[in-house]
Amino acid sequence: MMKSFLFLMIFLVVALAGNFNKDFDITWGDGRAKILENGQLLTLSLDKTSGSGFRSKNQYLFGKIDLKIKLVPGNSAGTVTTYYLSSIGSSHDEIDFEFLGNLSGDPYILHTNVFTQGKGNREQQFYLWFDPTKDFHTYTILWNPQSIIFSVDGTPIRQFKNLEASGIPYPKNQPMWIYSSLWNADDWATRGGLVKTDWSKAPFIASYRNYNAQACVWSSSSSSSCTSNSSTGNSWLSESLDSTGQSRIKWVQSNYMIYNYCTDTKRFPQGFPPECSLN
């Protein structure tokens, strides 16, 4: 059924090795965000006055988005670096990576969430198996009609399946932009807000490279949006976790997951959200 639905629509599928000048706008930060090296490198900066951020020029309806990020090194406590897809409005959809900084030598937390039709509350948090401030690492959001898969250096860490058949809303009608930002959140980010940002260490800088989108560009001027190219080029549109992926996700979840809303009995005394038993 999903296939025939897709074939009905008009589309533009792109696979692009990105250029930050071409594909993104710096949206805030008054000069604190910089595109360098002819569009190959982007840096965000945060100081006491402001953070900074950027957004894709295009809106997408489904995509596989890779971004290499090198997080704020040293004492990054209180800072949050985000990388997410989001639509707009009160019933928006959103797929989030957020990197919560920490004192030198203490681990970042990778915080993830999925919003559907304005409702989130689906947090899962992880430690990473490497120091994310030493080198660039690839963070991938795969969003296709069957599932959303978050990956780190090709290792899937989280899956949110399309469970519409069980009455759980799935993002598939609202186009999303790609966003990223670096900002101060020392009221909650590090050890729940206990550790504050040390402004004597500012400016804090996060760096980005190798943006790559295999995605469907959405356009408001065409009556419809986007679909599969029936030839070989778009395997991401039907990509799902194979058995290796399944076992990688289990490895990450048993060794690096530090919070899962689906096991938080205090928060859901009446029972877990329905997707918890199905994902």
What is the x/- site pattern for ligand NAG, positions 84-113, by CB under 6 A?
A: ----------------x-x---xx-x----
Q: How many CB atoms lie within 10 A of CB 41?
A: 17
Q: Verify whether residue 239 is a known catalytic residue.
A: no
Q: Name the active-site residue from 98, 164, 239, 275.
A: 98
Output the residue with the shortest Cβ distance to ligand NAG. Answer: 233
Between residues 3 and 191, which has the closer beta carbon with respect to ligand NAG?
191
How close are the terminal C-alpha atoms of the chain, in Å?
21
Where on the phi/psi map is residue 255: left (φ > 0), alpha (ψ -120 to 50), or beta?
alpha
Between residues 238 and 247, which has the closer beta carbon with respect to ligand NAG?
238
DSSP at 1: -
- Tokens 């990509």, located at residue: 239
Q: Name the active-site residue from 94, 123, 164, 275.
A: 94
233 binds ligand NAG (CB under 6 A): yes
How many residues touch ligand NAG under the rule CB under 6 A: the total is 12
CB of 144 vs ligand NAG, minimal distance in Å: 16
- Tokens 């930050």, located at residue: 20
Q: Which stretch binds ligand NAG (CB under 6 A): 40-48, 50-58, 188-196, 202-210?
A: 188-196
- Tokens 């008054």, located at residue: 30
Q: Which stretch binds ligand NAG (CB under 6 A): 51-59, 133-141, 155-163, 183-191?
A: 183-191
> In terms of DSSP H, where are the helices of 91-140?
none
CB of 108 vs ligand NAG, minimal distance in Å: 6
Q: Which residues does 226 contact at the CB level (< 8 Å), separation at least 6?
A: 9, 11, 12, 13, 60, 61, 62, 216, 217, 218
CA gyration radius, the chain: 19
| Backbone φ, ψ for residue 144 (5° rounding) | -130, 180
Q: How many CB atoms lie within 10 A of CB 31?
A: 9
Q: Which stretch binds ligand NAG (CB under 6 A): 152-160, 184-192, 237-245, 247-255?
A: 184-192
What is the x/- site pattern for ligand NAG, positions 13-42, by CB under 6 A?
A: x-----------------------------
CA angle 122, 260, 97 (to 5 degrees): 55
229 binds ligand NAG (CB under 6 A): yes
| Backbone φ, ψ for residue 21 (5° rounding) | -65, -40
Q: Verify whether residue 275 is a known catalytic residue.
A: no
CB of 103 vs ligand NAG, minimal distance in Å: 7
Q: Which stretch binds ligand NAG (CB under 6 A): 22-30, 65-73, 152-160, 189-197?
A: 189-197
CB of 60 vs ligand NAG, minimal distance in Å: 16
Q: Identify the H or E element spanning 171.
A: none
Binding-site ranges for ligand NAG (CB under 6 A): 13, 100, 102, 106-107, 109, 189-191, 229, 231, 233
* Catalytic sites, residue numbers: 94, 98
